[in-house]
Amino acid sequence: MLAERGVLVSGNWKMNENHFEALKLVQELGALLLAGTLPPGREVSLHPPFTSLRTVQTAVESDHIPVALGAQNCHWEDRGAYTGEVSAEMLAKLNVRYVITGHSERRQYFGETDEVVARKIDAILRHGMVPIVCVGETLAEREAGDAETKVRGQVRAALEGRPTEVVASVVLAYEPIWAIGTGRTATPADAQEMCAAIRSEVGHFAPSATAAIRVQYGGSVTPETAEELLAGEDIDGFLVGGASLDAQRLVSIVRARA
Ligand code: PEP
């Protein structure tokens, strides 16, 4: 990573932790984070399920825990007849700063297309929050040599045509689908290569945004793999699933040396 961009480590709790468990986890995390310092330029975001957002927000604000509040998804409209959905406007009111969008689990299980993801990005930006836009290839696409084409296409669909300063403010998360929740991390070289390709793709439509845009890696990141991955100059942090449910493991990843 480049020092100026800083490192963002985001904990995606997925559909885990009811609000009692979420409170316990954020308090444990807070105690560990507050007991030491974060490396300069390091930022942490926590993405609990919607039902725990208010609980986590209250704990973070009252205990001054150095984490930003995050969400895992949102709807593209601000309000209306969309039973079961939560809008970006509602998230912004809870002081949510980062919203994950286009996660492969949403693309795979809920049919989210690039077009839907782009509309969600519009909504997140409209309400002053930062989208964490997930992109990544399947194992079949990687084995067929199509990984970079797929990922570059997802990046363009999400960001092309937006003002440069907006592109620069977004976070992209490269998450090879075959590495998510499988215990199989991409090699540092493969992760760096794709994150560099992502940055170069951004350069095709928003050249002045390439130095500033943050690109995370996600896919079975652990305290054991974090440091080596972070050595990649185009890797600016992590989107962490499984390991973010353990306060000690998440804090070890957060404190990984760059
Ligand atoms: C994720 O859900 O974005 C993720 C990377 O999960 P895991 O770390 O468990 O692979």
258 has pLDDT over 90: no
Q: Is 103 one of the annotated active-site residues of the chain?
A: yes
pLDDT for res 1: 65
CATH match of 3-254 with 3.90.1720.10: no
pLDDT for res 96: 98
Q: If pLDDT is split at 50, 70 and 90, which confidence band does 3 have?
A: low
Pocket of ligand 1 (CB under 6 A): 12, 175, 180-181, 218-221, 239-243
pLDDT, average across residues 108-112: 97
Burial class (CB in 10 A: 0-12, 13-18, 19+), 221: buried
Angstrom distance (rounded) from CA 12 to CA 62: 22
pLDDT, average across residues 60-80: 98
pLDDT, average across residues 35-63: 97
In total, the chain counts a number of residues equal to: 258
pLDDT for res 117: 98
- Residue 167 CB coordination number (10 Å): 23
Buried b (16+ CB within 10 A) or exposed e, 176-185: bbbbbeeeeb
pLDDT, average across residues 199-225: 97
Q: Is 75 one of the annotated active-site residues of the chain?
A: no
Residue ranges per domain, the chain? Answer: 3-254
Q: Which of 9, 10, 14 to mutate to test the pocket of ligand 1 (most atoms within 8 A of CB)?
A: 14
End-to-end CA distance of the chain: 7
Closest CA to 246 of 29, 36, 69: 29
Give pLDDT tens digits for 114-147.
999 999 999 999 999 999 999 999 999 999 999 9
Please state the pTM of the whole predicted model.
Answer: 0.97
Q: Which protein residue has the closest C-alpha to ligand 1 atom 8?
A: 241
Burial class (CB in 10 A: 0-12, 13-18, 19+), 166: middle
pLDDT for res 2: 66
Question: In terms of C-beta distances under 8 Å and separation of at least 24 residues, what long-range contacts does 248-252 make, across chains too?
Answer: 248/32, 249/222, 249/223, 250/9, 250/11, 250/29, 251/29, 251/32, 251/33, 252/223, 252/226
Distance 217 CA to ligand 1 centre (A): 10
